[in-house]
């Protein structure tokens, strides 16, 4: 089992080398918060809410675990990575059109897919964008398919090596700020990967 102290030096060097060229300004998720402000606020009050805009029902945790396992196997993504990203982003809740920051694309589903990631993930998984927005399993599969494609792009050959997924997770986050990306991986996702990645 890897421990956060074991992965930090490697992850920092990987993020610095592989991700620095892609970092820049103008990201709506770049709020000045070094953590990158990851995750959807599920408790926010919205005066414009009405019952017709309620998100799709989220399956029970034990059903979701089976879905994570199937999607992970299908797309060769570690289940712990899938579950941990979903935990950080939505706490395994099926969000629909949730906007974290003004000007940012709305996030959908358990994997908080948004914008180009939603479209690409759906295409890679062979599902419609609408299904990826509203169906639990289609959303998880789309997230897994996207992560797998990103892993291919970063040359992750040893899929069981959590360390190798650092740049993939950072890219998936959509955070452009380099420190924010590193914090997202090291302080949010990896502690869940190496600890408890299921919602309480």
Domains of the chain: 4-23+67-194 (1.10.530.10)
**Residue 31: pLDDT above 90?**
no
Query: pLDDT tens digits for 72-129?
Result: 999 999 999 999 999 999 999 999 886 776 767 899 999 999 999 999 999 999 999 9
Q: Which tokens is 160 given?
A: 């069981």
**Residue 7: pLDDT above 90?**
no
pLDDT of residue 200: 57
DSSP at 95: E
Q: Which tokens is 24 given?
A: 């820049």
Burial (0-12, 13-18, 19+ Cβ within 10 Å), 20: exposed
* CB 29, CB 179: distance < 8 Å: no
Confidence band, pLDDT 50/70/90 cuts, at residue 22: very low
Q: Give the residues across from 94 on adjacent strands.
A: none
pLDDT of residue 39: 58
Cα(132)–Cα(190) distance, integer angstroms:
25
Neighbours of 120 (CB within 10 A): 16
pTM of the model: 0.74
Considering the chain, what is the average pLDDT of its residues? 80
Identify the CA nearest to 171 among candidates 18, 9, 3: 18
**Buried/exposed code over 125-137 (b: 16+ C-beta within 10 A; e: otherwise):** bebebebbbbbbb
pLDDT of residue 196: 73
Query: pLDDT tens digits for 42-82?
Result: 444 444 444 445 556 788 899 999 999 999 999 999 999 99
pLDDT of residue 195: 83
**Residue 9: pLDDT above 50?**
no
Residue 85 vs residues 24, 66, 168, 198: alpha-carbon distances, Å:
23, 16, 11, 10
Lowest mean pLDDT among 9-23, 84-98, 132-146, 169-183: 9-23
Q: Give the residues across from 109 on adjacent strands.
A: 95
* CB 34, CB 183: distance < 8 Å: yes
pLDDT of residue 133: 96
Q: Which tokens is 15 given?
A: 């993020």
Cα(43)–Cα(142) distance, integer angstroms:
25
């Amino acid at each position: 089992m890897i421990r956060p102290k074991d992965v930090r030096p490697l992850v920092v060097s990987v993020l610095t080398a592989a991700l620095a060229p892609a970092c820049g300004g103008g990201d709506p998720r770049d709020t000045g918060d070094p953590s990158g402000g990851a995750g959807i606020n599920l408790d926010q009050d919205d005066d414009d809410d009405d019952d017709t805009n309620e998100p799709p029902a989220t399956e029970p945790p034990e059903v979701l675990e089976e879905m994570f396992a199937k999607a992970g196997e299908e797309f060769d993504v570690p289940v712990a990575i899938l579950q941990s990203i979903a935990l950080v982003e939505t706490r395994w809740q099926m969000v629909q059109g949730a906007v974290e920051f003004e000007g940012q694309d709305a996030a959908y589903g358990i994997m908080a897919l948004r914008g180009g990631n939603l479209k690409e993930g759906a295409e890679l998984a062979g599902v419609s964008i609408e299904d990826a927005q509203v169906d639990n399993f289609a959303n998880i599969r789309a997230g897994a398919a996207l992560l797998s494609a990103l892993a291919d792009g970063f040359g992750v050959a040893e899929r069981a090596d959590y360390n190798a997924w650092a740049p993939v997770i950072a890219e998936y986050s959509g955070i452009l700020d380099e420190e924010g990306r590193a914090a997202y991986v090291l302080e949010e996702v990896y502690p869940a990967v190496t600890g408890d990645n299921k919602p309480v």
